[in-house]
Structures are given as C-alpha cells and as structure tokens.
Amino acid sequence: MFKKILIANRGEIALRVIRTCKEMGIKTVAVYSTADKESLHVKFADEAVCIGKPQSTESYLNIPHLMAAAEITNADAIHPGYGFLAENARFAEICGEHGIKFIGPTPDMIRQMGDKMTAKETMIRAGVPVIPGSDGLLENLDEAREIAREMGYPIILKATAGGGGKGMRVVWEERALEHNYNTARAEARAAFNNDGIYMEKFVEEPRHIEIQIAGDQFGKVCHLSERDCSIQRRHQKLVEESPSPFMTTALRKKMGEAAIKAASAINYESVGTIEFLVDKHRNFYFMEMNTRIQVEHGVTEEVINFDLVKEQIKIAAGIPITGKNYLPEMHAIECRINAEDPFNDFRPSPGRINVLHIPGGHGVRVDSHIYAGYAIPPYYDSMVAKIITVAQTREEAIDTMDRALSEFVIEGIKTTIPFHQQLMRNEDFRKGNFTTKFTETFKLEPEPQIP
Ligand code: MV4
C-alpha cells in the first residue's frame, strides 16, 4: 500500500480523500495556492506545500509545481480528485515517468475516452448501444446534409474534443444546418484546438443516468448501480440521486451489463462512470465515460454502503476487486450547495462566511470544506457543500433533505439553498417526473422579502 499520497486538488474533494487516507493509515500531503492558505485541506493534511498563485494555471494546473511538491515530500502516489488535472493524460504520464502512481486509469485509457468520437467507435465495436449518427467525424457540409436528411431532424453537432456539453449545437431544420455546421467547427477549433465534429440524432427530453463502475488491474470489472443526474442547469449538475426514479430492475440489469462491457472494452482500471442518455421508451445510449471520481460519488456510497475512494486507492495499489455487482439498498439524494444567487441567474457570490450552521441528524451527510470565518475565493468552482440524505424510500430522503436544508445557515454569501428547498417541494420532482429539460421550465418563486 502507498505510504504517502499527495492530493492535487482543493476544497471538499481534497478533504474527502484525506479522510479516507487517514482511515487507511496513509500519510497525506496537501497542496495549496496562496488564495487557499486558510483552507481546511491544508489544516487536515499531515503536510502542506504552497504551489503558487491563485490562478489555477499557476497552481492546481501547474504540473512542474505539483511534481516538485511530490518529490520534496517523498509522496509515492498522487490523487487528482475531480476537475483540474483528473483527466489529463499527459499529467498521468508524467507521474509515471517520475515513479509516482497516478491514482486513476492509465494515460492511454484517459486518452481513449477523452476523444468522444474514438470513445463512441470503441463502444460500437464492444456492442454498447450508441446514438445513431455520422460514421466518424464529418468531412464537409455536403456529407453533413446527406446524413441529416437520412436520419431526419432534429440533429446535434458535437465536438470530438468536447464533452460535458461544451461545443454542442442542436439543428432543427436543414436551412439552419450550414450556419451551425460552421459555428460548431469554429467553436471547437477555438476552444479545444481540434475542429473535429460529428453528428447524432437529437434525443428530445432525455434523462441522464450514469452507471458507476470499478475495474482492477487484473481485468475484472463490476458495476455499482446508477445515479440519475437529470437535474442540471447549463450542463452543471444541481441534484443527483440513486436509484433513479425512472429505473426498473430489468433496465438496471441491461445498463449495468452495458457499462461493464464499455469499461471492459478498454480493460479499464480504477473507478469510473459510464454516462447514458435514456429516452422516454427506456432506450439507453452511451454518451461519455468519465475516467475520474466524480462530485456525486457519495450518492452511490450511501446506497450501497461502500467507500469508493478507498476502492480507488486499493485498485491503484494493485489490490483485486471482488467483482460483485452492487444494487441500491437505500435511497440517497444529493443537493449541490453553490455560492451562487439563484434569484439572480445563479451569479457567483464569493465572500466571507460570517455565520455557519451545518445540518445533521439521522440520514444526513454533509461533505464540505467551509467553516465560520472562511472566505470563499473567487478563483475556483462555486460549490461550497454537498448535502446527501439517505433513507429507505425516495419520499423520506426528500423529506429529510427538506428538513436538512431548513437547518443549513450560511450568512455572508448567497447560496443555492433556496432553489433546492423549492425543488424538494415541487410536485413533478417529488413524482420523479423530470428530464434534463426540467430546470428550463422550473419556476423559482421570488425570494421572500424581509421587511
Ligand atoms: C445529446 C442530447 C440529445 N441528443 N445528444 C449534454 C452533455 C453531453 N454529455 C451530451 N449532452 C447531450 N447530448 C443527443 N444525441 C442532449 C444532451 C444534453 C444533456 C445531456 C445530459 C444532461 C443534460 C443535458 C442538457 C442538455 C443537453
């Protein structure tokens, strides 16, 4: 087992990894930017190294600074968390070249799933259902027009270097194709320095359901059930839950088997997620694979009673997995609490937290790095806490969440707590009647005015 892990991240995920390391008897090294000097991950780790200026490119994304920190502290592994360098194949490669274990998949696996068209072709070969579309990248407008005519509109254009919704264009009719084809390619070139685009039939009002998987270094892969992440806004997830209210026993078996096929196709090693789009007839299609631990991993941990970070570290250390698939035994819901103003177009609201009360009680888990007096820096992600509630039934988990949200006091900044409170009381949400379009039509009641 590793003796010392450097956590190349900040915030709640850095804390999350430190907590599991402590339980496993592994020493930890925190890294921090000058803006994060007063952060909890710095205080909770055994050692801490400042790696540069506040801007991510000067600190959490700066590979030479991170490698220097790992070498001076004698760390034998690096945990990348999520975001930052978690899916950077070159970083994983450099770790290997320095004899430091990257806690995640191999650089090759990251690359294969990072290019979306390549990933899709791999899935077709593996027999995993994909959304009908172009056979490879689009060569020119004429080809695009022909494929769209054949499939019928609406269609969607996607950047092969994109993912997570970046560089996508929906086209509803042929006369809008030329313009969208040109802008999709130009945007892809500008954003990713790669102008490869491909086409798919546009699936209207789908659900986003993902399957958590784990694979070890010996070729064994298992699935750990699903998460429903359909409640998103501008491709940012706001709520995740497991099991999905749309799931059936038969569908879970089929999607679980497809996810295992998908991961096995690249001999996947580490924990990871296969994202599927699910249409109203419960047809499901591979969308992307995430080769990292995700923000919403805690939802799965609660419903199957399993530490995913511990499993990820064990896999990286060469310990085999049991290979058993897991089914949800509880219901868990997660609300992401962001330092954003939901009554003002979710505008970021950094600043100092003057008063703080974190909810607790039966069935409540809060993963957060905030404390009273902490100032949220403006440079990074706006997520300040994740509340996860767990109960025997979905209805109880929602009621517990409503209660936990009402206990949560964060003064000094605006947060998304009021949005979640209204959502927990929404009839359609409570019925499980929602798709990825839900937040577009959800009417937030005005903020109660305190006289
Ligand atoms: C789609 C789609 C409909 N049809 N592909 C968004 C993120 C990226 N992973 C792919 N996305 C989508 N791809 C086809 N052929 C709709 C979306 C999509 C979406 C997917 C999941 C969750 C929220 C979403 C919001 C808008 C669009």
Provide the residue type at 54 as one letter.
P
The one-letter code for the residue type at 212 is Q
Give distance in angstroms: CA of 440 to centre of ligand 1.
14
User: What Å distances lie between residue 31 and 88, 116, 206, 237, CA to CA?
Assistant: 18, 31, 40, 27
pLDDT in tens, 8-35: 999 999 999 999 999 999 999 999 999 9
- The closest-lying atom of ligand 1 relative to the alpha carbon of residue 229 is 22
Element (H, E) at 286: strand 284-290
- Answer yes or no: is the C-beta of 224 below 6 A from any ligand 1 atom: no
The pLDDT of residue 399 is: 98
Closest ligand 1 atom, residue 288 Cα: 9
Position 166 scores a pLDDT of: 77
Q: Is the CB of 238 under 6 A from ligand 1?
A: no
Any alpha helices (H) in 83-239, and if so which ranges?
Answer: 89-97, 107-114, 116-126, 141-151, 177-192
Nearest CA to ligand 1 atom 7: 165
What pLDDT shows up at residue 342?
97
The verdict on the CB of residue 232 being under 6 Å from ligand 1 is yes
Structure tokens at 57: 């490119």
Give the separation between CA 291 and CA 256, rounded to whole angstroms. Answer: 17
Location of structure tokens 């964060």:
410
Using left for φ > 0, alpha for ψ between -120 and 50, and beta otherwise, residue 366 falls in beta
pLDDT score for 418: 98
Mean pLDDT (10-residue bins), the chain, 451 residues: 98 98 98 97 98 98 98 98 98 98 98 97 98 97 98 97 86 98 94 96 97 98 98 97 98 98 98 98 98 98 98 98 96 98 97 98 98 97 98 98 98 98 98 97 88 76
Q: Using CB atoms within 10 Å of the CB of residue 427, give its burial: 0 to 12 exposed, 13 to 18 middle, 19+ buried.
A: exposed
297 C-alpha vs ligand 1 centroid, how far in Å? 20
Catalytic residue (one of 292, 336, 365, 394): 292
Q: CA 298, 373, 66 angle in degrees (round to 5)?
A: 60
- What is the number of the ligand 1 atom nearest to the C-alpha of 155? 15
Q: What is the pLDDT of residue 447?
A: 84
Asked about 252 being catalytic, the answer comes back as no
208 pocket-lining for ligand 1 (C-beta < 6 Å): yes
